[in-house]
Structure 1
Amino acid sequence: MQPHGYQPDPQILTLAQWLGDPVAAADFPATTLRWRNDRAAAEVGLDTLDDAQWIAHFGRFAPLPGNLPQPLALRYHGHQFQVYNPELGDGRGFLFAQMRDHAGRLLDLGTKGSGQTPWSRQGDGRLTLKGAVREVLATEMLEALGVNTSRTFSVIETGEALWRGDEPSPTRSAVMVRLSHGHIRIGTFQRLLALDASAEMHALLDYCLATFPGPAGSAGASPATRLLEQVVARLADLAAQWMVAGFVHGVLNTDNMNITGESFDYGPWRWLPRWDSQFTAAYFDHQGLYAFGRQPQTLHWNCGQLAVALRLVEDAPPLIAALGRFPELYRAAMARRWCWRLGVTPRGVEADSALIAVCEKTMVETGQGPDAFFFAHRGGRGATGALAEALAPFQAVLSDHPYWADSQAQTLLIDDVEAIWAQIAEHDDWTAFYGAIAAIRRMGQAHGPALPPAGHDPSGHD
């Protein structure tokens, strides 16, 4: 029986012959439901599933009605730490289903930890329970801070003992499902360039422009130029979203860059304990390539790799022009998103940028982290000295939500995460986990509706 409000629409099947490989999920020894995101499920008509049905679909991967008959492990290449790697693809995940939300947007359900695929190489295709817990926390916090992110839809513990070199082993395992607007990566286009597959490139462009529509762009622009213009706007905005959130993704490879502009695929992420452009999340990022302050530069570089791939079907000049807009788009996105989090009305990019500089200087001088800073000075409150002077021309956007009367800001620093995990690992106590999610969502309510992401159809029906 099809759930009420559920609208299956597996558009990806038009590309499936060359975009992915049909696969089967692993047969897990156990399926213990740990997290179901009913808020997200309600948007796609799946919140009415009972727990047994939920586990059947998202732990055993019985096909959803009218959807993909078999999951697809997607194929792609990518630059990993700016070194090209053609041996990539979904190695421990797959695209499970596509459906429309209540606004008519096409959304994907993709997995992590669902078993081996043709692209697993030497990996076991599994996910640690700790990794799944961390992804729930990251996506909830990012959503609350107005970041365009995938949402963790489901986590089911699978009863296998995993061995990992970066955490105490054996450790518990899980399979996770995420809800996203799409799973087409920059690396998807790079693979087609490497294969000299121009017909498939044209088909992928048509799919992306139809599925993730954005502004019309430059007059007379080709499909390749239109898409690049949209992706540049989206990733410039995403870079600003991360910076304003004080978030360090950690692994900004081109196979982790979604052309929808969504933040996704969370591994060694961190939130800043203090404002530090050199702060690095991944212990293996020895050169600080993906440090906090280098995220905008890296996303610009990644857009450049998309432009290179699109040279298969387009001349260079319009692509270069589209790529060249990244700095101005990033600056504008920083201005509007900084003012949103600070709770003041924007006054124009120049004035807003000057305010950002004073705020950054204040954080550096005081050692205050961004969470504490934005909380303390929301709507211009509590400011003194140069900060008070910089804020004086700005109009406060006040909120009477009780969160702003709390004694301190909600945070998700590494110590917070480790304390939550310790209760699960040592006592199987999920109280702190669910308590953190409730607190994060309360903070999100206090911030109010997120700003719309750039590079999408302004009507919102994308």
Structure 2
Amino acid sequence: MPIRPQAYRPAAALQRLGSDFWDPVAAADFPETRLRYRNDRAAAQVGLDALTDDEWLRHFGRFDPLPGTLPGPLALRYHGHQFRSYNPEIGDGRGFTFAQLRDDRDRLLDLGTKGSGRTPWSRSGDGRLTLKGGMREILATEMLEALGVPTSRTLSLIETGEALERGDEPSPTRGAVMVRLSHSHIRIGSFQRLAYLRDEANMRRLVDYVLHELYSEEPGQEPALRLFDLVLERAARLAASYMAAGFVHGVLNSDNINVTGESFDYGPWRFAPTWDAGFTAAYFDHAGLYAFGRQPEAIHWDVMQLAGSLRLIAESEPLVALLDTFGPRLQHYIAAAMLWRLGLTPQGGDTDRALIQSLERTLRATGVELHRFFHDAFARALPKSYGEDWSDFRTLAASYAPRKERGRYWDDKPCGMLIDEVEAIWSPIAESDDWSRLHAKIAEVRRLGDALA
């Protein structure tokens, strides 16, 4: 295997947690494996970019173990609230953790799958992923990474030669298996399960694992409180980044929120066309529980469930005191994320708050397309054609220094990711196996990321 020894750093930290946390499973035996996407930019960070395509297919389509890491796939156990209803019968139902590696920043990363077959937690599902679903996850992760959202990255998409039946896609539809790189697949629901079981010993073990392996901290006098403080901070940052990106995850259940504050598992996602608080991504979210404007509330509710779970090994009062800091942390990160996307250097305090309030108020009132607005407004260059509605925002923004000069990129057309374009990218794949529009869009999104970075 032509790995780069200086970059390839295998790990197997999950095994130290013990078998109470996972079930050994086997990947499905797919009729075929056809490589559709490999993310060499992400692979280079963990020393896997030198794999040949045949080796890539063997490891990420047939799941031959990578050297030095987990000996076989592990399906994680967890519980969770799904649309606020507690479910103790879930876990990795169509995925598993295949390997753990350290990246070029010394972070522990999981290689997790989607569509890799049935597990003990599949219930009535077939454990499979549609090719369209995999393509959509590529687009979501690429766009979110460009927009500064902490996100998993899609490493691989392989078509499996299976015809799948789905109620929300024209069927039969093509099957696929996907691999993602994520800082962690430990979820709030992982802690909820242990609280439900009243398993104090494993709760302490999981707290220590997250602190040591994922936050590089040694557990101190109050490890549960320290963990909650760290997760709360990351969760506030995640919620703020969704708002600045105009992104709607669609299913912010507590089993879909991980403890490193990294967005992952993209099902019915959307980018909001305008600043519409009621915009939803999931057709089944009839009450708008996870609508665009309610996402901070939803994530706050999820971290509240973590606090409740940690009461098994910590006192309630300090947990509640920390939980009360979510709002101020959220406001800090919203200002930082908005100013970053606008290309402006934060000033802090009331000055930033006034600018963001003016921005949100005017976005609501004018209904301007979000991706077009942020493109036009980068580094204070909002065109005069926006009119008097934007006079207050212009005045406030004029006092800010640009964090980055407005380069030639911003003279081109804006890069968005609205649902009509996603469907237009899928159509030639479905009709004639033409992937050129997908690859062109990835290149366009990465240019946006480079211009913002």
Report deviation, 1:398.
3.6
How do 1:417-428 and structure 2 match up within 5 A?
Answer: 417-428=422-433
Match of 2:443 in 1: 438
What is the aligned length? 445
Structure 1 residue identity aligned to 2:287? Q
Question: Where does structure 1 differ by over 4 angstroms across 4 or more consecutive aligned residues?
Answer: 214-217
Contact preservation (8 Å) 2:211, 2:217: no
Corresponding residue of 2:407? 401
Q: Could you tell me whether the CA contact under 8 Å between 1:335 and 1:349 is conserved in 2?
A: no
* 1-structure distance, mates of 2:379, 2:279: 28
* Alignment match of 2:416 (pick from 393, 411, 415): 411
8 Å contact kept, 1:216–1:226: no
Could you tell me how far 1:382 is from its partner in structure 2?
Answer: 2.1
How far 1:103 sits from its partner (Å)?
A: 2.1
1:242-266 CA-to-partner distances (Å, cap 9, x unmatched) read 0000000000000000001000000
RMSD: 1.4
Please say if 1:198 is aligned against 2:204. no
**Take 2:125 and 2:17, find their aligned partners in 1: how far apart are those partners?**
26
Deviation per CA, 1:2-28: give whole Å up to 9, x if none.
612211111100113111000000000
Match of 1:46 in 2: 48
Structure 1 pair 325/221, CA: closer, same or farther in 2 (3 Å)?
farther
Selected match of 1:87 from 86, 89, 95: 89
* Aligned AA (1:197): D
Matches within 5 A, 1:29-178: 29-178=31-180
Deviations 1:135-181 (A, max 9, x none): 00000000000010000000000000000000100000100000011
Which shifted more, 390-399 or 271-280?
390-399
5+ unaligned residues in a row in structure 2: which ranges? 384-389
1:116 and 1:105 map into 2 onto residues whose CA distance is: 29
SS at match of 1:154: strand
One-letter amino acid of the structure 2 residue matched with residue 443 of structure 1: L
**CA distance 1:60–1:215, shift in 2 (3 Å):** closer
- The one-letter code of the counterpart of 1:424 is I
Gaps (5+ residues) in structure 1? 449-462
Cα separation, 1, equivalents of 2:244 and 2:218: 28
Structure-2 change in CA distance of 1:252 and 1:195 (3 Å): same
Q: Distance in 1 between matches of 2:188 and 2:2?
A: 34
Conserved in 1, the CA contact under 8 Å of 2:27 and 2:117? yes
State the alpha-carbon separation in 1 of the partners of residues 172 and 48 from structure 2: 34
Shift of 1:409: 1.0
Counterparts of 1:25-424 in structure 2, within 5 Å, are 25-213=27-215, 222-382=222-382, 384-406=390-412, 408-424=413-429
The farther-off stretch of 341-350 and 254-263 is 341-350
Amino acid at match of 2:346: P
- The answer as to whether partners of 1:215 and 1:230 remain within 8 angstroms in 2 is no
Give the share of equivalent positions with the same residue, in percent.
58
Partner of 1:24: 26
Greater RCO, CA 8 A, separation 6+: 1
Length-normalised TM-score, structure 1: 0.94
- State the one-letter code of the partner of 2:333: A
Equivalent position amino acid for 1:442 in 2? R
Q: Label 1:216 to 1:353 Cα distance change in 2 as closer, same or farther (>3 A).
A: farther
Task: Report deviation, 1:362.
Answer: 2.0
* 1:373-415 alpha-carbon deviations (Å, 9 max, x no partner): 1111111112552221121211123435332111x31000000
Q: 2:42·2:153 contact (CA, 8 Å) conserved in 1?
A: yes
Give the deviation of 1:65 after TM superposition. 0.5
SS at match of 1:17: coil
8 Å CA contact 2:378, 2:406 repeated in 1: no
Aligned to 2:386: none
- Give the superposition deviation at 1:69: 0.9
- Following TM superposition, by how much is the alpha carbon of 1:35 offset from its aligned partner in structure 2, in angstroms? 0.4
Could you say which residue in structure 2 is the equivalent of 1:459? none
Q: Distance in 2 between matches of 1:285 and 1:400?
A: 39
The SS at the match of 2:26 is coil
- The structural deviation recorded for 1:216 is 9.1
Label 1:370 to 1:300 Cα distance change in 2 as closer, same or farther (>3 A): same
Q: Secondary structure at the match of 1:201?
A: helix
SS at match of 1:274: coil
